[in-house]
Structure 1
Amino acid sequence: MGELAAASKVHVMVSYWWSRGDSLANHQLGQILSRAAGVGEVDLTDSQSLDRALRIAVTDPAVLGELEAWWQMVETRRAGNGTRNPGLGLDQSIRYLTDRLDAAAITPEVLGECRRQVAAVDLTIMSAKNLPELAHPDAEMLDLLGRYLEARSRVLALA
């Protein structure tokens, strides 16, 4: 594999595993990028900021090696499971459900939307059950899951 192809592959793989939302791994990525010459400050919550930093970082062979080791470590840590951290969208799903459930009238269409949302969130949680975020949840994740179960129960009670 040529130098450019290797840099391109690392860039893509780091971007992919960053987007899975593994907080601990992304913290480590931030440390790698902060040590890279010429990268400057990186906002790990912004995909464009990460992309700019990676374009610079992959040009340094030493940093390229660190980044390759990083994405391989994340892939191993997550057992190849590409499911996003369910906590990243859970708050939005909870708000979506509660907003619709707290509306004056719950039409069959609204109930159908809520059931589809519950099914999608349930699927995400099930596919992520062995990931670090759910295998060893922190207080924030436990709070989100509790709030989700409450909203989910409200939807299922309307059956």
Structure 2
Amino acid sequence: MGELATANKVHVMVSYWWSRGDGLANHQLGQILTRTSGVDEFDITDPQSIDRALRIAVTDPAVLAELDGWWQMAETRRAGNNTRNPGLGLDASIRYLTDRLDADTVTPEAVGECRRQVTAVDQTIIGAKDLPELTHPDAEMLDLLARYLEARSRVLALA
């Protein structure tokens, strides 16, 4: 594989595994990019910022090798499971459910929408059950899960 093809592959793979939302792995990526990308400021949570930093970083062969090792470590850490960190969308799902449940009138259509949302979130959580975010949850994840279970229970209690 040529240098350009290798740089492109590493860029894509790092972007992909970054987008899975593994907080610890992404923290390590942030340290690599801060140290090596030559970008004064970048935001580890912003896709455009990550893309800019990676475009610069992959031009240095030593950094390219480090980033190649990083994405392989992230893939291994997640056992190849490409499910996103469920915590990334959980707050929005909770708001979606509670907004509909707290409405003046809860229509049968709204109940159906809420049940579909619960099914989707449940599937995401099941798909992520072996990931670091759920096997070793932090206080924020525990809070999100507790809030989700409360909203989920409200939905399932509706006939």
TM-score band (shorter)? over 0.9
- Count of aligned positions: 159
Contact 2:37–2:53 at 8 Å: present in 1 too?
no
Contact 2:25–2:74 at 8 Å: present in 1 too?
yes
Provide the rounded CA distance (Å) in 2 between the counterparts of 1:33 and 1:13.
15
Aligned-residue CA RMSD in angstroms? 0.7
Q: 1:89 to 1:27 in 2, by over 3 A?
A: same
- Which residue of the partner structure matches residue 145 of structure 2? 145
2:46 matched to 1:35?
Answer: no
Displaced runs of 4 or more, over 4 A: none
- Unpaired segments of 5 or more residues in structure 1? none
Provide the rounded CA distance (Å) in 1 between the counterparts of 2:37 and 2:25.
21
1:41 Cα offset (Å): 1.9
- Which residue of the partner structure matches residue 66 of structure 2? 66
Q: 1:37 to 1:148 in 2, by over 3 A?
A: closer
- Which residue of the partner structure matches residue 110 of structure 2? 110
1:75 Cα offset (Å): 0.1
Identity among equivalent pairs (%): 82
Contact 2:37–2:54 at 8 Å: present in 1 too?
no
TM-score by length of 2: 0.98
Provide the rounded CA distance (Å) in 2 between the counterparts of 1:64 and 1:12.
12
TM-score by length of 1: 0.98
Q: 1:150 to 1:57 in 2, by over 3 A?
A: same
Provide the rounded CA distance (Å) in 2 between the counterparts of 1:53 and 1:76.
23
Contact 1:39–1:57 at 8 Å: present in 2 too?
no
